[in-house]
Amino acid sequence: MTGAAGESRPPRDALRELLRSAEFARAYTLTVIGAMLGTHLIERLMGQTALRTVIAGLAVIGVAVIVARREEISFVRLVPTSLVLLVAWAGASVFWSSDAATSLGRWIAMVGVAVLAVTIGHVRDTLQTVRAFADVARVALWLSLGLEVVSGILIDTPLKIIGIQGNIAQWGPIQGIFGTRNMLGIVAVLALITFLVEWRTHSVRPAVSYLSIALATALALLSASPTVYILAASVGAATVALIIVRAVPARSRAGVQWGLAGLVATVGVVLWVQRSRILELLGATDDLAMRNSLWTLANFYVRMKPVQGWGFFGPWELTEQPFTTINMLLRQRHTTGLNAFVDVLVQLGWVGIVLFVAFAGMALVRSWLDAGERRSVVYAWTPLTLVALGVTSLFESVALYGTGWLLLVVCAVRAGQSRSWRERLDAIGTQRPPG
């Protein structure tokens, strides 16, 4: 009996060691990021069921990895409290949703992607996460460019099955493997941030960095998305501000931070007042008019259920209210509110928007302060990525699902590990004498 019991243990031990290994953590991270960046491609080529199966499988593996590493992971620092509250409120909204089954399914998908992000946040450090995202983004952008060349130049035919219109010969707009020009532009800017951090940390050969930066810049421009210019300008301004913060002495840093905060608030007000002029210069006046009509209708429905919202769906369920009526009145087919904050307001009400802003805001403040104090440039990736997601949320709702939601949670987990009440609580626990 003892021999039989002894023979049954090695497979379990081998599996546990595999789940705990650095090689498995790297492979898992690459697979997760690849699945998220390839969401549109997977769904178009294999269907929604295949995509859900991939995410569910990766989430189960993620839980197994966390369990296998439970001795090295602090439970109190596992998940940010603000994330728990936001996800819990979204789950509670299932009970007043017009379609509880669909809403529950979308909420499970939200939790599943959050599990992937939490796992990555605990098995990979910031530099390893940057390297993984850079590696996958390089492949995704090269694949996008290759397919655009095939569609627009070699065969001169749109690849409708994956949403490529074949406009590269006319210098855009192009969509790549991401379905829309806006999504390609957003991914290209996020990749550009990552490639620049990768270059500054000397993580890859200079030639690889230069080529990657050129690729991301070219695809961002070829996307011909007005969002890209606003996003790039915002991230550029945030980068300059962070460089200033890192350069000043520690004793003067707090004053500089407050001064920059006041400057950001002032510039924000000026840009809001001059938004029509700015969008006219960018050639996006018609786009703004369409968005204003959409947001006005969305606000009408927010006033009907201001506190709790209409129930969480993430991307719109077009057969449910209020999405059906909004599209019918606009005579269009929107799948989101084209603004993450508007979507949260409609679906989760004012309680949801407070939780969402608190979740993202605390992550940004923590990561910004951390990046201002740490010597390595790699810590700048987290706040700059959060700035990019925040600005993007004004024009698209990607921060609520897919790659955007994954990166938002990853950044929040990383920020919460270095600046949180949980860190102090954990430190007290480890310093307490035994017995």
**Could you tell me if 161 and 281 lie in one domain?**
no
Domain total for the chain? 2
Q: Phi/psi class of residue 375: alpha, beta or left (left: φ > 0; alpha: ψ in -120 to 50)?
A: alpha
Using DSSP's 3-state secondary structure scheme, residue 171 falls into coil
Contact residues for 303 (Cβ-Cβ < 8 A; gap 6+): none
Q: How far apart are CA 396 and CA 390, in angstroms?
A: 10
Q: Which residues pair with 164 in a beta bridge?
A: 159
Q: Is 336:392 a contact under the CB 8 Å cutoff?
A: no
Indicate whether 430 pLDDT > 60.
Answer: no
What's the helix, strand, coil split of the chain in %, to 5?
Answer: 80, 0, 20
Q: Which of 167, 196, 224 is the last residue of a domain?
A: 224
Q: How far apart are CA 32 and CA 46, in angstroms?
A: 17
**Could you tell me if 314 and 236 lie in one domain?**
yes
Residue 55 lies in a domain: no
Percent of the chain with pLDDT over 70: 89
Rounded mean pLDDT of 183-192?
A: 94
Q: How far apart are CA 343 and CA 327, in angstroms?
A: 14
Please indicate whether residue 249 or residue 204 has the higher confidence score (pLDDT). Answer: 204
User: What is the value of pTM for the model shown?
Assistant: 0.89
Residue 231 lies in a domain: yes
Model pLDDT, residue 54? 93
Percent of the chain with pLDDT over 90: 47
Tens digit of pLDDT for each residue in 333-355?
A: 888 888 899 999 999 999 999 99
**Could you tell me if 264 and 388 lie in one domain?**
yes
DSSP characters over 349-367: HHHHHHHHHHHHHHHHHHH
Q: Which of 155, 189, 224 is the last residue of a domain?
A: 224
Indicate whether 357 pLDDT > 80.
Answer: yes
Model pLDDT, residue 58? 95
Rg (alpha carbons) of the chain, rounded to whole number: 23
Model pLDDT, residue 16? 79
**Could you tell me if 308 and 372 lie in one domain?**
yes
Paired tokens of 133: 């995202």
Model pLDDT, residue 359? 94
Rounded mean pLDDT of 68-74?
A: 80
Q: Which of 208, 224, 240 is the last residue of a domain?
A: 224
Q: For all residues of the chain together, what is the average pLDDT?
A: 86
Indicate whether 203 pLDDT > 80.
Answer: yes
Model pLDDT, residue 376? 85
**Could you tell me if 216 and 299 lie in one domain?**
no
Q: How far apart are CA 30 and CA 144, in angstroms?
A: 18
Q: How far apart are CA 173 and CA 154, in angstroms?
A: 17
Model pLDDT, residue 433? 45
Residue 45 lies in a domain: no
Model pLDDT, residue 434? 45
Q: How far apart are CA 384 and CA 350, in angstroms?
A: 27
Q: Which band of pLDDT confidence, cut at 50, 70 and 90, is reported for residue 17?
A: confident
Q: Is 53:401 a contact under the CB 8 Å cutoff?
A: no
Using DSSP's 3-state secondary structure scheme, residue 380 falls into helix
Model pLDDT, residue 119? 93
> Which domain covers residue 153, as residue numbers?
130-224
DSSP characters over 366-377: HHHHHHHH-SSG
Q: Compute how many other C-beta atoms are within 10 angstroms of the C-beta atom of residue 327.
A: 17
Q: How far apart are CA 166 and CA 178, in angstroms?
A: 14
**Could you tell me if 282 and 414 lie in one domain?**
yes
Indicate whether 254 pLDDT > 80.
Answer: no
Model pLDDT, residue 142? 96
**Could you tell me if 276 and 300 lie in one domain?**
yes
Model pLDDT, residue 281? 66
- Which H or E run includes 10? helix 2-20
Tens digit of pLDDT for each residue in 265-317?
A: 787 777 666 666 666 666 666 667 787 888 888 888 999 999 999 999 988 88
Model pLDDT, residue 286? 67
**Could you tell me if 382 and 414 lie in one domain?**
yes
Residue 351 lies in a domain: yes
Q: Residue 232's closest CA among 242, 221, 241, 243?
A: 221
Residue 161 lies in a domain: yes
Question: Where would I find the beta strands (DSSP E) of 172-286?
Answer: none
Using DSSP's 3-state secondary structure scheme, residue 164 falls into strand
